[in-house]
Structure 1
Amino acid sequence: MKGVLAGRTVLELGSMIAAPFATHILQQLGARVIKIEPPGGETTRKLVRGGPSGTYIAYNRGKNSICLNLQTKDGALVFRDLVASADIVLHNLSPGAARKMKVTFEDCEAIRPGIVFCHIKGYGPGPQSEEIASNPIAEAATGVMFNNRSAGKPSRLGPSYHDQFAGCYAVIGVLSALLDPDASPERRNIELGLYETGLHIAARELVGVQLKSQITGKPEQEPSPEFSMPGYGAYETSDGRWIYLVMLTDEHWRKFCLAAGLSLDPELASLRQRRKHRPVVEDIVSQAVRGSSYSALSTALAAAGVGFTEVLSGDKVLDAQQARNPPKYTNLSFASFMFDAPDFPVSAASSNEGREMSPPLLGEHTVTLLRQSGYPEDEIDRLLEIGAINGASEGDDLWNTKTEKLVLAR
C-alpha cells in the first residue's frame, strides 16, 4: 500500500531527534526522505560505543543518505540542485548555522518557488529566538522538570518527548501546507520552537496551577505524578512483578475492591474520603496487591473491568501479545544485527514500501542520487576527490565489534 505522501521528496538536515523523528513519520507516510549529512555524519551515528544509537536506527530507517560538505562551494551547489527537485525541506539547524549555510526559507524558496519549509529550533519568535535549546532545556523552562525530581533534585523525564512532540507538530504543519494548493509563503514557512512545543504540552498543568491559585489563593501543584490519587500508581505483586493501577473515580475503587476481594468500607466510598485517608488507602491497595501473584490479580482485575497493565522493562515490551498480534513493528537488519522497530500507528495513511529498509550508512546513496540528478561520472569523481561529497564505507566497524572479536581471537 502506498502512503498519502507517495511521490513527495523531503530533504532533511537533521540531528539527534526532533527533525529526524518528523521525517521518519513523513517517510512512513510514503515520502522519499533524503537525509543530508555533514562529513562525519549526524550526532546519533556516534553515540553508542562510537556507533549508531537506538535513536538513529529507529528513526532513520528507509531514508537515503547523502553526505555533503555545505561549507564548500561545490557542496552548496549540490544542495541547491537537490532543493530544486524537492517538495519539502525540514531541518533543526541552529538559526546561525542555517543562515551561514544558506538553508533558510528565503534561500530555498528562491530555488524552488512553492516549497514547504520547516525549521525546528530552540525558541520561536521572541527575545530568545536566536538561542539554542534542547529537550531538557524545554522541560526545565516550561515547568515539567520542576515536579519530576530524583533525590529531591529537578531532573529530566528520560525519553525526549519534547523533541518527539515537536517532530509531530512539524508533520502537522507540513501536511497543513500541502493540503492548501494556494498556500501562502507564510503558511509554507513553518517555524517551530521546542520551547513553544513545551508550553503547549504543559497547558493542562499551567492552567491547573492558575485554577488552584484563584480558588485557594496559592499556586498549588500536584504533590506527585499520580495526581495525589490514592490507589493510582505502581504496586508490587507477590512474585516481584509490578502492576500499574488507574483509580480516578469511585466506580474504579468499587471495581478494584470487588476484584481484590475487599469489603467496601463506607468511610472510603468517595474520592474525597479516600484522599483524606490516603495513607490508609495506599496501605490497603499495597497489601492487596502484594498478597497475590500478577497472573491471578490481572485475571481478576480484567474480569472486573479495572484499568491496569504490567510495568515492563524495555527488553520485554515487544514480547507482549498486543505488540505481536498483529505486529506493531517491522523487523529489519542493520550491520550484523536484527531489530524490531515500532511503526507509525496510523496504518490507513502510511506506506508498506521501504519499511524493511535498513537505516542508511553515512553517504550510502550519495553517488546514486547524483547520478539520478544527471551528474556525469567525472564530475562525481571530482566532487569526491575534493571532499565536497562523501560516499559510504561499507567496511566500517560501527560499534568496534569486529575489532574486539579480533583482539579476543588473538
Structure 2
Amino acid sequence: MNGVLSGKTVLELGSMIAAPFATHILQQLGARVIKIEPPGGETTRKLVRGGPSGTYIAYNRGKDSMCLNLQSEAGARVFRDLVATADIVLHNLSPSAARKMKVTFDDCEAVRPGIVFCHIKGYGPGPQSEDIASNPIAEAATGVMYSNRSTGKPSRLGPSYHDQFAGCYAVIGVLSALLDPVAPPERRNIELGLYETGLHVAARELVGIQLKSQITGKAEQEPSPEFSMPGYGAYETSDDRWIYLVMLTDDHWRKFCIAAGLGFDPDLATLRQRRKNRPAVEQIVTRAVRDASYDSLAASLAVAGVGFTEVLSGDRVLDAEQARNPPKFTTVPFASFRFDAPDFPVSAAVNATNLQDPPPLLGEHTAALLRQSGYPEEEIAELLALGAVREADDGSDLWNMKSEQPVMAR
C-alpha cells in the first residue's frame, strides 16, 4: 500500500535527530526523501566506532543520499536544481549556516514558488532566535531538567525526546501546509524551535505549578506521579525482576491489594490517607512485590485489572509478544548486519513498499539523482572532479572493527 505522501519529494538537510526524525516519518508516509549531506557526511554517520550510530540506521532508512558541497558554486547550483522539482525542504541548520548556504525560505521560494519549507532550529521568533540550542538545552530552559536529579544535580533525561517531539511537530506543520492548496507563504514557511517545542510539551507541569501557586501560595513542583502517588513506580520481585505499577486512584489501590493478597486497611483507603502514610505504604508495596515472583504477581495483577508492566532492558524490548505479533518493526539489512527498526505506529498510514530499504551510504544516489535532474555524464564527471558532489565508496569500512571488517551487503 502506498502512503498518502507518495509522489512528494522532500529535500532534507539534517543532522543528528530532529530533522532526520521528521523526514523519517514523511518517508514512512510515502514521500521520497533526498538526504543532502556535506562531504564529510552528517554527524550520526561517525558516532559509533567510527561508523553509523543507531540514530542514523533507525531514522535514515529508505532515504536517498546526495553528497553535496553547498559552499561551492557548482554545489549550490545543483541544490537549486533539486529544489526546482521538490515539494518540501526541511532542515535543522543553524540560522547563520542557512543564510550562508542560501537555504532559507526566501531562497527556496524564489526557485520553487509554492514550496513547503520547514526549519527546525534552537529558538523560534524572539530575542534568542539566532541562538544555538540542542535537546538538553531545551530540557534545561523549559523546566524538565530541573526536576530530573538522578545524581543529585539537574541532568538530561537520556533519550532526546525534545528533538523527536520537534520532528513530530514539523510533520504536523508540513501536512497542514500540504492540505491547503492555496497556502500563503506564512503557512508554508514553518519555523519551529526546540525551545518552543519544550514549552508545549511541559505545558501540563507549567500550568500545574501555577495552579498550586494560586491555591497554596507556593510554587511547588512535583516532578512525576511517582513522587506524589504512594505505590506508583518500580518494585523488585523475588526473582530479581522489576515490575512497574501504576497507582493513581483509590480503585487502583483496592485492586492491587486484592491481587497481592493484602487485607483491606480503612486507614489507607484514600489517596489523601496514603500520602500521609507514604513510608508505610511504600513498605507494604515493596514487601508484597518482593514476596512474589514476577510471573505469579503479573498473573494476579492482570486478573485484578491493575496497570503494570515489566521494566525491560533495551535488548529485550523487541522480544515481547506485543512487539512481535504483529511485528511493530521491519528487519533492515545494513552492511553485514541486520536490524529490527520500529516503524511509524499508525500502520494503516505507512507506505509498505520500501520498508526494508536500508539507510544509504554517503552519496549513494548522487549520480542517479544528477541524471534524473538532466545532467549529462560529462558534467557529472566534472562535478565529481571538482568536489562539488561525491559518490559512495563501497570499499570503505563502515565501522572500525578490530575482529571483523563489515562486508557490504547491498
Q: Give the TM-score normalised by the residue count of structure 1.
A: 0.98
1:48-98 CA-to-partner distances (Å, cap 9, x unmatched) read: 011000000000000000000000000000000000000000000000000
1:383-402 CA-to-partner distances (Å, cap 9, x unmatched) read: 0001000000111211122x
1:111-156 CA-to-partner distances (Å, cap 9, x unmatched) read: 0000000000000000000000000000000000000013211000
- Aligned positions of 1:4-403 closer than 5 A: 4-222=4-222, 224=224, 226-401=226-401
Aligned-pair distance for 1:347? 1.4
Aligned-pair distance for 1:354? 1.1
Q: Which amino acid aligns with 1:302?
A: A
Which consecutive unaligned segments of at least 5 residues does structure 2 have? 406-410
Q: Equivalents in 2 of 1:223, 1:87: separation in Å?
A: 42
Aligned-pair distance for 1:405? 3.9
Q: Equivalents in 2 of 1:281, 1:264: separation in Å?
A: 13
1:283-303 CA-to-partner distances (Å, cap 9, x unmatched) read: 000000000000000000000
Q: Equivalents in 1 of 2:161, 2:289: separation in Å?
A: 31
Q: Secondary structure at the match of 2:351?
A: coil
Q: Which amino acid aligns with 2:40?
A: G
Q: Which amino acid aligns with 1:61?
A: R
Counterpart contact for 2:225–2:232, Cα < 8 Å: no
Q: Secondary structure at the match of 2:348?
A: coil
Q: Equivalents in 1 of 2:225, 2:251: separation in Å?
A: 21
Q: Equivalents in 2 of 1:11, 1:375: separation in Å?
A: 18
Percent of aligned positions that are identical = 81
Q: Equivalents in 2 of 1:224, 1:266: separation in Å?
A: 26
Q: Secondary structure at the match of 1:286?
A: helix
Give runs of ≥4 in structure 1 deviating > 6 Å: none
Aligned-pair distance for 1:348? 1.7
Q: Which amino acid aligns with 2:302?
A: A
Q: Equivalents in 1 of 2:343, 2:151: separation in Å?
A: 35
Q: Equivalents in 2 of 1:121, 1:227: separation in Å?
A: 34
Q: Secondary structure at the match of 1:192?
A: strand
Aligned-pair distance for 1:224? 4.9
1:349-407 CA-to-partner distances (Å, cap 9, x unmatched) read: 22102110000000000001111111100000000001000000111211122x5447x
Counterpart contact for 2:123–2:132, Cα < 8 Å: yes
Q: Secondary structure at the match of 1:340?
A: strand
Q: Equivalents in 2 of 1:374, 1:239: separation in Å?
A: 65
Q: Which amino acid aligns with 2:129?
A: S
Q: Equivalents in 2 of 1:273, 1:309: separation in Å?
A: 26
Q: Secondary structure at the match of 2:167?
A: helix
Q: Secondary structure at the match of 1:357?
A: coil
Q: Equivalents in 2 of 1:114, 1:345: separation in Å?
A: 30
1:190-247 CA-to-partner distances (Å, cap 9, x unmatched) read: 0000000000000000000011011111101116551410010000000000000001
Q: Which amino acid aligns with 1:201?
A: V
Aligned-pair distance for 1:168? 0.1
Counterpart contact for 2:236–2:243, Cα < 8 Å: yes
Q: Which amino acid aligns with 1:218?
A: K
How many pairs are equivalent? 405
Q: Which amino acid aligns with 1:64?
A: D
Q: Equivalents in 2 of 1:57, 1:224: separation in Å?
A: 32
Aligned-pair distance for 1:259? 0.4
Q: Secondary structure at the match of 2:11?
A: strand
Q: Equivalents in 2 of 1:90, 1:349: separation in Å?
A: 21
Q: Equivalents in 1 of 2:284, 2:158: separation in Å?
A: 31
Q: Equivalents in 1 of 2:225, 2:15: separation in Å?
A: 31
Q: Which amino acid aligns with 1:396?
A: S
Q: Which amino acid aligns with 2:391?
A: G
Which consecutive unaligned segments of at least 5 residues does structure 1 have? none
